[in-house]
Structure formats: C-alpha cells, structure tokens
Amino acid sequence: MKLKHKDIFYFFFQAYSLAILDIKIRYRRSYLGAFWITISTAILIATLSLIFFIALKSSPQNYFVYLTVGLITWKYIEMTLKDYSYCMIENQQLIKQVSISKFVYIIRIILRNIIIFLHNFIIILLAVLIFKNPTLLNLLEFFLGFIILTLNLVWMGTLLSIICARFRDVSEFLFNILQIIFYLTPIIWTTDIFIGNDNFKFILDLNLFFYLIEIIRLPLLGNANYNYFIFMTLILIPGYIFSFFIYNKYKNKIVFWVQ
C-alpha cells in the first residue's frame, strides 16, 4: 500500500507528540525542565577541561571545544542507544492496546533525544563562538554530520529495539559495551597520543563511534574530513537494508515478546 503525504505527516506527528510528552513527564514541576541536562553537562565539561587539558598538554581553548563537542555528541549517541534497548518494552502497553506502526516508537526515541541534544547544543554554540571563528561552511558541515549521525542511529536503534525485545539480557550487555567504547573513543583524550606509535591505531580505525563523533566535531574545529562523511553515508545502505529486513520479519511478534 502506497503511503500518502498526509499519512507520513500523521506518522511523524504521532512520534513527535509522544516525544514531547516524554520530555514533559520527565521534567514536570521543574522550572528549568530539560535545561537541567544542559547545566549538568556544562559543569561536567568545565570540570573535565580543567583536569585533562593539563594532563594532555593541549591548548585550553582547543581542548575545551574538542571535549565539549565530543562529550555532548557521545551523550546523544549513548542515551539514544540505551533508550532504544528499552524501546518496545517501554511501550508495551501501547503496543498491546493501540494499533499503530511500531516504527512510531522508534522515531519517538530519536526525536526525543534530538530535542535533548538541541538543549545541549547551546553549550557547543557558546564554546565555538568564544574560542573559534566558525564559517558558514563549518556550520553546514556540522549539520550535515548531525544528519548522517542521526540516520545511523535510527538503523542501529531499529535493530536494537527488536533484539532487546526478544532477548532482555542484551540491554545489560549493551550498557557495559558502551562504557568500554567511551574509553576507547577519543572523547576526553586526543588522537595525538598515537603520534609516533601506530601499533594501537587500529583502535580508531575499527571504531565506528570514532567516525560518528568526528563528522560532528571536526567541522567545528575547522578541519572536516570528507572521507568520514562518505564512509558513514555508505554505512547507511547496508544498515537500513538489514535493519528493515529484521523489522519487517519480526514486527508482528513483538507484541508476544513484551508480555
């Protein structure tokens, strides 16, 4: 059946309405709402900057921007993937009672985390405007990187939501893996440590999350790498083919898995 434009609009309206509802419920009776995330993130970045730029002997201005963009982007990735691991379980009552596409719940999560990211984007914007002099091209590259990152998170989340609905232990495994990946990815440390020593450079070469963060961070540092853009765009093709194959094959079984 071919979807009409109004059907697609209604589909995204459903997902957006649920995402806004999530934000309101999480921060109800709070005057600052989701900006509490921004405040806590800003405090964390300031603290880590004071500690690590001395240890890494980096320029404080460059390192502050490097850490700010890297950490906020990582929080967006980590929070989104963790939310996806509970996607179908979290929506089990709606899945049992309401006949709507289960993909609405997948889009609900990405929209919810985009909203939270936009709150934290205030910190990125201030850091870049104070310590850097971004051009219009740099900002366009940043937003292009954000779109590519988000599209990758959707296919990853689609797979995770199905797998974690069937096998509950995968969620706990994911949390531990993400913690390891955080330390293996240059977020609080810089790639300069590999200069003159290529023995461990494979940590970056094989780390998909490194490329996801760099397509966001490098443009704002004035040094975008288009090879990373191309690589992560090409990853979308097999990612969506496989994830939608799994989704279409098992979507009707989810209602039994979330019992």
Which structural domain, as residue segments, surrounds residue 132? 34-257
Query: 100 with 21: CB under 8 angstroms?
Result: no
Is there a domain that residue 7 lies in? no
Nearest 5°: phi and psi at 31? -70, -35
Query: 101 with 11: CB under 8 angstroms?
Result: yes
The predicted-structure confidence for 180-233, as pLDDT tens digits, reads as follows 999 899 888 887 776 666 666 777 888 899 999 999 999 998 888 999 999 999
pLDDT at 6 over 90: no
Residue 101's closest CA among 36, 52, 158, 48? 158
Q: Distance between CA atoms of 203 and 252, rounded to whole angstroms?
A: 39
> CB under 8 Å to 58, separation ≥6 — which residues?
66, 190, 192
- State the CB neighbour count (10 A cutoff) for residue 54: 11
pLDDT band at 7 (very low <50, low <70, confident <90, very high): low
- State the CB neighbour count (10 A cutoff) for residue 165: 26
Name the amino acid, one letter, at 93: Q
The pTM of the full predicted model, rounded to 2 decimals, is 0.87
Total count of domains within the chain:
1
Query: 74 with 185: CB under 8 angstroms?
Result: yes
Query: Which value, in Å, is the radius of gyration of the alpha carbons in the chain?
Result: 19
Question: Measured in Å, how far apart are the chain's first and last C-alpha atoms?
Answer: 30
- Mean pLDDT is highest, among 26-30, 42-46, 205-209, 238-242, for 238-242
Is there a domain that residue 20 lies in? no
Name the amino acid, one letter, at 142: F
pLDDT at 81 over 90: yes
Is there a domain that residue 109 lies in? yes
Is there a domain that residue 8 lies in? no
Is there a domain that residue 226 lies in? yes
Q: Classify 196 in phi/psi space as left (phi over 0), alpha (psi -120 to 50) or beta.
A: left
Is there a domain that residue 2 lies in? no
Helix, strand and coil percent figures for the chain, each rounded to 5: 80, 0, 20
Name the amino acid, one letter, at 22: D
Q: Classify 189 in phi/psi space as left (phi over 0), alpha (psi -120 to 50) or beta.
A: beta
Q: Distance between CA atoms of 151 and 234, rounded to whole angstroms?
A: 11
The more confidently predicted of residues 3 and 36 is: 36
Is there a domain that residue 41 lies in? yes
Structure tokens at 156: 């990853």
Is there a domain that residue 216 lies in? yes
